[in-house]
Amino acid sequence: MVLRNKKEIEEIRKRLLKHYPAAHTELIYHNLYELLVDVILSAQCTDKRVNQITPALFKKYPDIKTLAKANVDDVRELIKTCSFYNNKAKNLVAMAKMVMEKYNGKIPEDEKELVKLPGVGRKTAHVIMIEYFKKNLMAVDTHVFRVAHRLKLSDAKTREGTEKDLVEAFKTDLNDIHQALVLFGRYICKAKNPKCEECFLYDLCDSKDKKEIKKS
């Protein structure tokens, strides 16, 4: 449930888009294949870590075709500094094989087909659709979930419920707002020690995590 009125929601939208104009993912990629691999790896892992891992991975497996023929143990070794690397290695190779066998080597470009791929859930598919295809969708990761609740844009207990509330609240500009919320949550509205002194939404927040800022 959204606990904000329309005027407040529009003010939050305005400030987010002003502070993060043309925001985009911090994952480094050059094509859809690299983005898909990046996003699969980024689950419960930082973008910074993923960007450290992928150069060697993409050098050895530059496309779907080569990844589909990869040895899982070799992929595991290349991504071993990533969280849940065992499952992710299996999913990456299985994903590539499925793309080759079911989609003739072409990564599907719609959500219904993307979520059929190993390692790709709703959030992963939405991140890809938002970043690569600029679709008007919302994806809820840890940062977006936290910010949405602190700003009372949702009180849902699940990511799916939070996504529904954010879509209902903003309706448009969802792709840009998603990217802005991620960056805002990552660098300002952090889980621990939020930087309230830098927050451009401070006056609109009454979260229990809000710090009192002493005015000079």
Catalytic residues: 123, 141
Q: In Å, what is the CA distance from 7 to each residue of 11, 204, 210?
A: 6, 11, 22
Where are the strands (E) in 42-157, listed by range? none
How far apart are the two ends of the chain, measured CA to CA in Å?
37
HSE value, Cβ hemisphere, 13 Å, CA-based, for 201: 30
Place of tokens 């070794």: 77
What is residue 132's three-state secondary structure?
Answer: helix
Sign of the dihedral defined by the CA atoms of residues 39, 45, 47, 51, in that order? negative
